[in-house]
């Protein structure tokens, strides 16, 4: 939490998870929830210094975190959870599990948007896994924001900002949107469909609802090329 000491047994509804990748740019990171526990996934610990956060738990195989930085975090009171390099879960998965153990209701993931493509894809799918269905998950990865939508979610941004809705882990049924340029009305998106790609915010906030399934609402941090308001089809 931005904690006063090493005891992280108390629960907080908000947990910030710092993950690895390219260095975090503070200018691209929105305000983070006050009073949240902070969990660093291995080299995600570097982001804590950049963002001015005190880390409660560092978890992972510690194969990419700077030893001096890890020692400093431990000296400051962080709990260190070491795992073998040959393990069955990514460091982000381990950090998400720690967040659940801390009693999280909302998890904010912060990290870079670079690194290995397989890690990026696996981590995006991980955030929408059934294991984390009990928590609200939003990830800020570089300039992009990824919101996991179960039941409903509110998206915040700038008018004209790109938004892609991607069904994962199965079809998403009964999707209805309000505030997107190309609305959906009680519709279906299947995994692999490109139908939800390159929509746009029609106003600074938009609402996405669905009856069943899970969506990743991806805001890549870029503006679209909107057509004239008098008409036109989805690009």
pTM across the whole model: 0.88
Q: Say which residue, 113 or 160, is predicted with more confidence.
A: 160
| pLDDT for the residue 87 | 86
Cα distance between residue 68 and residue 199, in whole Å: 45
Q: How confident is the model at residue 11 (pLDDT cuts 50, 70, 90)?
A: low
Encode pLDDT of 140-198 as tens digits: 998 999 999 999 999 999 999 999 999 999 999 999 999 999 999 999 999 999 999 99
* Tens-digit pLDDT profile for residues 60-85: 999 888 999 999 999 999 999 999 88
Sheet (strand 172-178) strand order: 152-156, 205-209, 172-178, 187-189
Could you tell me the domains of the chain?
A: 1-142 (3.40.50.10240), 144-235 (3.40.50.10240)
Q: How far apart are CA 154 and CA 107, in angstroms?
A: 15
**pLDDT tops 80 at residue 219:** yes
Q: Across the strands, what pairs with 110? A: 18, 140
Backbone angles phi, psi at 20, to 5 degrees: -80, -165
230 has pLDDT over 50? no
Both tokens of 142, joined, read 């570089």
């Amino acid at each position: 939490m931005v904690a006063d000491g090493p005891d992280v047994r108390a629960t907080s509804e908000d947990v910030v998870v710092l993950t690895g990748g390219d260095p975090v740019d503070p200018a691209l990171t929105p305000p983070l929830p006050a009073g949240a526990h902070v969990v660093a996934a291995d080299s995600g610990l570097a982001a804590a210094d950049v963002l001015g956060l005190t880390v409660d738990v560092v978890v992972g195989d510690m194969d990419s975190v700077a030893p001096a930085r890890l020692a400093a975090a431990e000296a400051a009171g962080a709990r260190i959870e070491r795992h073998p390099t040959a393990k069955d879960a990514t460091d982000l998965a381990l950090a998400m599990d720690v967040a659940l153990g801390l009693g999280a209701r909302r998890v904010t993931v912060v990290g870079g948007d670079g690194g290995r493509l397989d890690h990026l894809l696996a981590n995006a799918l991980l955030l929408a896994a059934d294991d984390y269905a009990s928590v609200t998950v939003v990830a800020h990865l570089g300039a992009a924001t990824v919101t996991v939508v179960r039941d409903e979610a509110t998206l915040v941004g700038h008018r004209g900002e790109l938004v892609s809705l991607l069904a994962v882990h199965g079809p998403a049924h009964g999707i209805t949107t309000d505030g997107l340029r190309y609305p959906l009305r009680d519709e279906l998106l299947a995994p692999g469909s490109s139908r939800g790609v390159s929509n746009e915010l029609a106003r600074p906030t938009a609402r996405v609802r669905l009856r069943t399934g899970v969506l990743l609402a991806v805001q890549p941090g870029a503006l679209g090329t909107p057509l004239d308001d008098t008409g036109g089809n989805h690009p």
